[in-house]
Amino acid sequence: MSIYWLTNPFSNPLALPLALLLLSTFGGAALALQAVHFWRATFSGKAATKRAAIVPESVLWQRYRTWVIIAILFISATLMGPLAIAILCGFFCWQGGKEYAALMALPTHHRLILLLAGWATLIAVLCWNTPVLTIAPILAFFGWSILALQPIPDETEVGQRFTIGLTAFWGYLYLGWLPAFLLALSMNKAPGFVLLVGFGVALSDVAAFCTGKLLSGLIGKKLAPRLSPNKTWGGLLGNLLGAVVAVGLTSFALPHLQFWQFGLLAVAIGLGSAWGDLLESLLKRQCGVKDAGGLLPGFGGLLDRIDSLLLVAPLVYYVTSLLSTNNTLHLFIL
């Protein structure tokens, strides 16, 4: 399989269908927000509406605009090929690493090595493809094992070295290694799967939010009250439903998949989205903060937006790899 790093996005046969998909998706979302405005204006005095109006309209429109920018950037990178995806993942590592390091109070040298190790992993995947993903965590473990032996500034006890070293190593796995799986999908000339990850995470998160609000009276039991008080079993159902919708909308990019394979991917995306959200909630509860940062209006930090993607990308990669190994899946190669 030949390696290609950069392509003309306008020559990609997926460009036009994706443009139409974006227009219809965000056009429909804008109409839905207008409907919400009408409903609240008409029934503003009703208690049920007051409960549904917890999120102000200004925040909803902020999130809408942020989603538009994210979608354009992500789809552009997908169509341009592995180099563009590597740059995008490099940004995830840089900004996400900054937010993670600030949350966990990592020393400067650990922050720098986390960033450089993440970038080195992405460059290695570009140069030597997916086998790098197997050896990268092993090399990182030995590297941080040495680093953990070194003194840290203002340490009060030796045990802090282990805690800081383990925290930084976990940060590399989270923000340096996991994003590389998105690049690995792109390196396999499978833009359809990259697209599926992006749309799957987005629609899964949106559906979880909407379904959690709508079904709060029916399936309002908390999923993990100590980690994420607003996450309910109804929201988890929304995660799965959103993933199913995403699989259906992006099926044109993966025409060789069978129905049961679409179903397997939908389950992986839906559960992975909820898993990633809860994992980041654990980090924030550990540090006593509501948001990981303030980069994205309406959402908070970058980590608050890519938390699901960080888990879904490797899950989709391994599901597709397993199916390919069993000769049941043929990647859609452009």
- The DSSP secondary-structure symbol of 252 reads G
Instruction: Name the H helices within 188-232.
Output: 191-214
The answer to whether the beta carbons of residues 70 and 22 sit under 8 Å apart is no
What pLDDT is stored for residue 54 in this prediction?
A: 61
Residue 176 tokens read as: 């340096």
Cα–Cα distance for residue pair 73/85, rounded to 1 Å: 10
What pLDDT is stored for residue 310 in this prediction?
A: 97
Residue 221 tokens read as: 């039991």
Residue 188 tokens read as: 């396999």
Phi-psi group of 81: left, alpha or beta (phi > 0 → left; psi -120 to 50 → alpha; rest → beta): left
What pLDDT is stored for residue 114 in this prediction?
A: 96
What's the full length of the chain, in residues? 334
In sign, the C-alpha dihedral spanning 279, 143, 114, 107 is positive
What pLDDT is stored for residue 53 in this prediction?
A: 44
First to last CA, the chain: 12
What pLDDT is stored for residue 189 in this prediction?
A: 72
Walk along the chain (334 residues) in steps of 10 and give the mean pLDDT of each run. 71 92 93 84 57 68 92 95 96 97 93 96 94 95 92 85 94 97 89 95 94 75 84 91 95 88 96 96 91 90 96 96 65 40
CB neighbours (10 Å) of residue 226? Answer: 9
Cα–Cα distance for residue pair 302/262, rounded to 1 Å: 29
Cα–Cα distance for residue pair 311/269, rounded to 1 Å: 9
The answer to whether the beta carbons of residues 125 and 180 sit under 8 Å apart is yes
Cα–Cα distance for residue pair 328/257, rounded to 1 Å: 9
Give the helix/strand (H/E) hosting 91.
Answer: helix 82-104
Tell which residue, 167, 48, 158, has the closest CA to residue 97: 167
Listed by start position, the domains of the chain span: 10-29+51-80+189-334, 82-187
Cα–Cα distance for residue pair 62/87, rounded to 1 Å: 25
Q: What angle do CA 186, 191, 193 make, to 5 degrees?
A: 90
Cα–Cα distance for residue pair 69/295, rounded to 1 Å: 13
Cα–Cα distance for residue pair 14/262, rounded to 1 Å: 19
What pLDDT is stored for residue 231 in this prediction?
A: 86
Phi, psi of 43 (to 5 degrees): -115, 35
Residue 294 tokens read as: 């303030």
pTM exceeding the 0.75 threshold for the entire prediction? yes
What pLDDT is stored for residue 327 in this prediction?
A: 53
